[in-house]
Amino acid sequence: MKTLFIPLILVIFCSQAQETTIKKDTIKLDEVLVTATRANKKDPFTKSTISKKELEKQNLGQDIPQLLQMLPNVVTTSDAGAGVGYTGIRVRGSDASRVNVTINGIPLNDSESQNVFWVNLPDFVSSVESIQLQRGVGTSTNGASAFGASLSLATEGVQTNAFTEIDNIIGSFNTRKHNLKFGTGTLHEYFNFSGRISTIQSDGYIDRASSDLRSLYLEANYTTEKTSIKALAFGGSEVTYQAWYGIDKTTLENNRTYNPAGEIRNEFGEVIDFYDNQVDSYKQDHYQLHFNRLLHNNWTANIAVHYTYGRGFFEEFKQREDFNAYGLTPININGVEINQTDLVRRKWLKNDFYGTTFSIINKTEKTKLIIGGAYNKYDGDHFGEVIWATVGSSNNSQRYYDNTGIKKDFNIFTKIDYKLNEIFNLFGDLQYRNLDYSVNGIDEGPMQILINDTFNFFNPKAGINVELNTKNSFYLSYARANKEPKRADYESEKKPESEQLDDIELGWRFKYKKAIINANMYYMYYKNQLVLTGALNNVGTPIANNIGKSFRLGLEIDAKFSLLKNKLFIQPNLALSTNKNIDKFENLDGQLQGLGNTNLSFSPEIVASSLITYTPFLNFEMNLQSKYVGDQFMSNLEEKSSILDAYSVTNLQFQYSFRPQKIVKEIIFKTLVNNIFNKQYESNGYFYSYDDTSTNPGETTTMFGAGYYPQAGVHFLTGVTIKF
């Protein structure tokens, strides 16, 4: 890290020399990297795009899901309660494992869990040029199937002028963020180098929910008139104290910041202490190489290769564990056989993910044709070690479970945008996807785990956009998506089935002078949807089960109004939906019972937000952010005890900037006060059921329980960005 400071000093000096000779600030080369995964202006899909300028305003160290929380039909949550550490996002009621995420068109979702763990890429938004969120199936092609949304991230474009930026943030719960960015500007006409180092720490709102996050980003570009080569190396490391256990209703009411992770109990079951190192520790390195070439006759070729290396563990203190679950040999002491022990275990993940994406694009006045595809392979090791035990032998080279998951993913697609005339634009997309997933070895228990599944999916999409006039346009689209089960689905069901989604989107876009309005209706019909039951497995992963038929029907409206000569902007959005299991059956009280049409879990019927931006004078801006999330069930049974109550949160942000115009180009002061009304609320939870036969002999009674993840009351973040 220290070696970066020498070139940084040179960059600060060079930035003044180059600024007068280069007129153009940024070369927009990266659009071709995301062309295959993003929707353009006239594509018939529902989308929201956030620019770098908008992201910079919100970026005070919180994870990317927190920065997207004001978008339509988006619900976010934080395990630690304050947006740093493990965070999650749901779109249209679909959890993060059903949101397709790409960086420059390269898949980011973990191949087995299909989730994205943003904590592994802390402060990555500081290196992002724009983010596009497509709700529904959208135009996703590479990586995990989009069953709720697609999230496309494009890294920063080439900066032609040298620059240096220093960003320092402090806040509640001992939160602090420090980063340093630099860029050489254009060197010898063709070359450009840039980078960033970041560190984020926080104690968290929840007890002991600390985070220690570090990241690095390096980029090199070679650009000529017809060729661009971009090489990226980025990654992060995280050590977070575990905060994924949640708390029950009684604890929530009496001690809402309590964290049960690492509890040490005496022989009477009383908590007497906590294990200090009950942590999750993970590192992830990403490498991307993109080659783009402008060919003759309006053809452009793009090929990328990538590699991701992830490794880490989470450590747990466990009490009174059986020897046979860990391969430990019982001990005979004075004629008494000892077969239980207190111990510390580590559950490891080590994985390699690599592959290529490619596309060729032809663009004429009326037609845009894209032919492309991808091949990716994941190779992941899962193993556990006992690193300490009170009795019995423990050897950290001895693994008490050990298995390997391998996943191969191939797809090929053809997309076409055709401008029929000045009014009608047609869109078509055909994709074939082949998957091969296998797991073999010994899993926890110990028990043999053997998975060997192959999937062949055909995913067609079609739509039309109608430019009625300069103010109004309409679109209609149909898209099909098929999705394979996650590893956790195989562990909770003997033979989970793949899912199928048919998504219909009907939208209206209005733009006139100082008003922009977007409205759309959607109908998403599922077969064999793997819907969250509300329960968690032993590592905090949500459990999902196949259901027969289900649907999501909704209306989404978002708008932007400019008032007071562009000094005041109002951006409201509203999502209304009904989300149903069709003819739900469940085993309750020892009998299979028909429950009719029930609400899908974690799918609120109302989600609304508003952003009011006011600029009373030059370079000073105020933002008032409000978010409302309606009641939602944490199960599919419509059980009252599984209701997660509605909540509303209001945040207030200030930003002031000025330009000294000498060595320092710009200084920006930012302050964000979250939850200014100090509301107590829970944005996430879990729900479980179990059969009780002890109350009435011979009868089975289904009992229920729930857990909650409380979020922080009023808290703040403030800091300064200095640009050279």
Q: What is the full DSSP assignment across 287-351?
A: EEEEEEEE-STTEEEEEEEEEEEEEEEEEEEEEEEEGGGTTPPPEEETTEEE-EEEEEEEEEEEE
pLDDT at 538 over 90: no
- Write phi, then psi, for 328 (nearest 5 degrees): -90, 150
Instruction: Give the number of other Cβ atoms within 10 Å of residue 615's Cβ.
Output: 16
Per-residue pLDDT band for 584 (boundaries 50, 70, 90) equals: confident
- Residue 77: C-alpha distances to residues 86, 204, 379, 677 (Å): 9, 13, 30, 18
The mean per-residue pLDDT over the stretch 311-333 comes to 90
Which residues lie below 8 Å from residue 298, measured CB to CB, with a gap of 6+?
Answer: 362, 363, 364
Give residue-wise pLDDT tens across range 593-644: 888 899 999 999 999 999 999 999 999 999 999 999 999 999 999 899 999 9
pLDDT at 335 over 90: no
What is the DSSP code (8-state) at residue 657?
E
Dihedral sign, Cα of residue 28, residue 31, residue 33, residue 34:
positive
Domain boundaries, the chain: 2-397+407-723
Q: From 227, 42, 57, select the one nearest 125 (Cα to Cα).
A: 57
Residues 553 and 576: their CA atoms lie apart, in Å, by: 9
Q: How many residues does the chain have?
A: 724
Give residue-wise pLDDT tens across range 448-462: 999 999 999 999 999
Give residue-wise pLDDT tens across range 141-172: 888 888 889 999 999 888 889 999 999 999 99
Q: Which amino acid is at 290?
A: H
Per-residue pLDDT band for 9 (boundaries 50, 70, 90) equals: very low
Contact 489, 499 (CB under 8 A): no
pLDDT at 398 over 70: yes
Per-residue pLDDT band for 333 (boundaries 50, 70, 90) equals: confident
The mean per-residue pLDDT over the stretch 469-479 comes to 95
Residue-level pLDDT at 16: 38
Q: Strands 149-155 and 99-103: what pairing?
A: parallel
Which residues lie below 8 Å from residue 698, measured CB to CB, with a gap of 6+?
Answer: none
Residue-level pLDDT at 560: 96
Instruction: Give the number of other Cβ atoms within 10 Å of residue 659's Cβ.
Output: 12
The mean per-residue pLDDT over the stretch 654-659 comes to 92
Residue-level pLDDT at 158: 85
Residue-level pLDDT at 24: 38
The encoded tokens of residue 455 equal: 């999937």
pLDDT at 189 over 80: yes
| Average pLDDT of the chain to the nearest whole number | 90
Residues 215 and 199: their CA atoms lie apart, in Å, by: 6
Per-residue pLDDT band for 327 (boundaries 50, 70, 90) equals: confident
The percentage of residues in the chain with a pLDDT greater than 90, rounded to a whole number, is: 75
Residues 34 and 470: their CA atoms lie apart, in Å, by: 27
Dihedral sign, Cα of residue 694, residue 696, residue 698, residue 702:
negative
Residue-level pLDDT at 392: 66
Contact 557, 609 (CB under 8 A): no
Written as one string, the DSSP assignment of 242-285 is ---S-B-HHHHHH-TT---TTEEE-TTS-EEEE-TT-EEEEEEE
Per-residue pLDDT band for 39 (boundaries 50, 70, 90) equals: confident
Residue-level pLDDT at 716: 96
Q: Which amino acid is at 125?
A: V
Cα–Cα–Cα angle for 63, 67, 133, rounded to 5 degrees: 110
Report whether CATH 3.40.50.300 matches the domain 2-397+407-723. no
pLDDT at 551 over 80: yes
Residues 687 and 707: their CA atoms lie apart, in Å, by: 6
Residue-level pLDDT at 397: 63
Ramachandran category for residue 537: left, alpha or beta (phi over 0 → left; psi -120 to 50 → alpha): beta
Location of structure tokens 């200090």: 276
Cis ω for the linkage preceding 485 (within 30 of 0): no
Residue-level pLDDT at 592: 82
Q: Strands 299-322 and 279-294: what pairing?
A: antiparallel
Higher model confidence: residue 199 or residue 1? 199
- Out of 58-62, 294-298, 651-655, pick the least confident: 294-298
Q: Which helix (H) or strand (E) holds 67?
A: helix 64-67
The encoded tokens of residue 93 equal: 């009621």
Which residues lie below 8 Å from residue 266, measured CB to CB, with a gap of 6+?
Answer: 272
Per-residue pLDDT band for 2 (boundaries 50, 70, 90) equals: very low
Contact 235, 285 (CB under 8 A): yes
Residues 157 and 164: their CA atoms lie apart, in Å, by: 15
Contact 129, 152 (CB under 8 A): no
Residue-level pLDDT at 298: 87
The mean per-residue pLDDT over the stretch 389-399 comes to 70
Give residue-wise pLDDT tens across range 215-257: 999 999 999 988 999 999 999 999 999 999 999 999 999 999 9
- Out of 168-172, 295-299, 340-344, 408-412, pick the least confident: 295-299
Residue-level pLDDT at 396: 54
The encoded tokens of residue 286 equal: 């990403």
